[in-house]
Amino acid sequence: MKIISEKQISDFDKKGVVFLENYFSQTWIEKLKIGIEKNILNPGKEKRVWSKESDGQYTFYDSNNWRNIQEYQEFIEESSMKNMAATLLNTKKVNFFFDAIFVRSKGVKFSTPWHQDEPYWSVEGFDTVSIWMPLVDVRKESALAFVPGSHKWGKKFKQQDFGELNPDNEKNVNNVIFNSEWEIIPDIDNNREKYCVTSWDMKAGDCVAFNARIIHGGGGNLLPDKDLKVFNTQWLGDDVRVCYKSMGMDPDHSPQMKQAGKQSGDQIGSDLYPEFYKETNWKN
C-alpha cells in the first residue's frame, strides 16, 4: 500500500501542487484508456477540439462524462483517488465535481494557456484538488506545468477565454469574459525561472495533484512520435460553495445546479456531486 506522507500534504498546501509517483496500477490505466476511446467516439456536450495543426494533429477536450462511461465511473467510485483527494485536502469527506480529458495526437505543439481553474467554475472556495493523470509516459517538457505558491497570491487575473479555442466553430460553447479591470496574467513563458515553473517527467500511474487556484498550463510540445492522453478529476472540500459568475462559467454547471434548487452560497451537497468518505486503510 502506498500512502501520502505528511510532507506531501504540506507541500500541497504550501506550493499548491504535489507530484505523486506510481500511485495507480496498470489495470486502472488500461481501463481509463478504454474509457477515453469510448469518450472520443461518443463525446459529451462539453467536447471541443482546442487546436488543429498543419498535419492534422489535434488537441481534444471533454468533461463531465463519468455518468455515461462505465470505466470512468468505476475509477471514481472504486479507486483510491477519492482517498488521495480527501487526504490532501485534510478532510474527512470530499465531493466529486467532474472529470475532464485532454487528448493530444502525436507531435502536437499546442500548449495550454496559463490559467487558474477556480475562476471559471460554478463554485468558489480554496479547498479544491484536481488530479491530472497521464495514461502514457510524458516528459516534463510536455507535461502540465505549475507556478508554485500562486494559489495563495489572492489576485484576480484576466485570463484566456477557452471558448475561443474553437477551430471547428462549434456552436453554444461556454465563454468566460474576464473583467478587463482584473490584472493581466504575468508573462510566465518569458520568466520561467522567476516564477519557478515546475513540471515532472511522468510515467503512466503517476499523477500531479493541484489546487484550482494555482496558475498552470504549458505542456504540449510533443515529440513527433508521442501522443498524450490525460484523465483528470476535480474534487471539492469543506469551504467550497456554489457560486454563479456573471462573466460566464466553463464548464458551466449552473443549469443543473439551478434545477436542483441551488443558489450562490449554498453547500455543494450530495445530490449532484457524490460525497465520498475517506477510508483509513486505502490501497491504490
User: CB of residue 52 vs ligand AKG: minimum separation in angstroms?
Assistant: 15
Residue 126 backbone phi and psi in degrees, to 5: -85, -30
Q: Counting Cβ atoms within 10 Å, is residue 27 exposed (0-12), middle (13-18) or buried (19+)?
A: exposed
Estimate to the nearest angstrom the gap between the alpha carbon of 271 and the chain centroid: 22
Which 3 state secondary structure label does DSSP give 70?
Answer: helix
Q: Counting Cβ atoms within 10 Å, is residue 191 exposed (0-12), middle (13-18) or buried (19+)?
A: exposed
Closest to ligand AKG by CB, 61 vs 282, is 61
161 binds ligand AKG (CB under 6 A): no
Indicate which single residue of 16, 119, 125, 219 sits in contact with ligand AKG (rule: CB under 6 A): 219
Closest to ligand AKG by CB, 175 vs 269, is 175
Closest to ligand AKG by CB, 111 vs 264, is 111
String of contacts with ligand AKG for each residue 174-213, x by CB under 6 A: ----------------------------------------
Give the cell for residue 92: 474527512
232 binds ligand AKG (CB under 6 A): yes
Whole-Å CA distances, 94 to 82, 227, 240: 7, 32, 10
Closest to ligand AKG by CB, 59 vs 282, is 59
27 HSE (CA, 13 A, CB side) = 5
- How many beta carbons lie within 10 A of that of residue 199, not counting itself? 20
132 binds ligand AKG (CB under 6 A): yes
Residue 257 backbone phi and psi in degrees, to 5: -65, -45
User: CB of residue 166 vs ligand AKG: minimum separation in angstroms?
Assistant: 16
Closest to ligand AKG by CB, 230 vs 282, is 230
Closest to ligand AKG by CB, 251 vs 262, is 251
Task: Please list the residues that pair with 138 across neighbouring strands.
Answer: 202
72 binds ligand AKG (CB under 6 A): no
Indicate which single residue of 62, 71, 99, 117 sits in contact with ligand AKG (rule: CB under 6 A): 117
Closest to ligand AKG by CB, 48 vs 216, is 216
159 binds ligand AKG (CB under 6 A): no
Indicate which single residue of 130, 159, 211, 233 sits in contact with ligand AKG (rule: CB under 6 A): 130
DSSP string, 134-193: ESS-B-TTTS-EE-TTGGGS---EE---GGG--TT--SS-------TTSEEPP--GGGTT
Contact residues for ligand AKG, defined by CB under 6 A: 102, 112, 117, 130, 132, 144, 216, 219, 230, 232
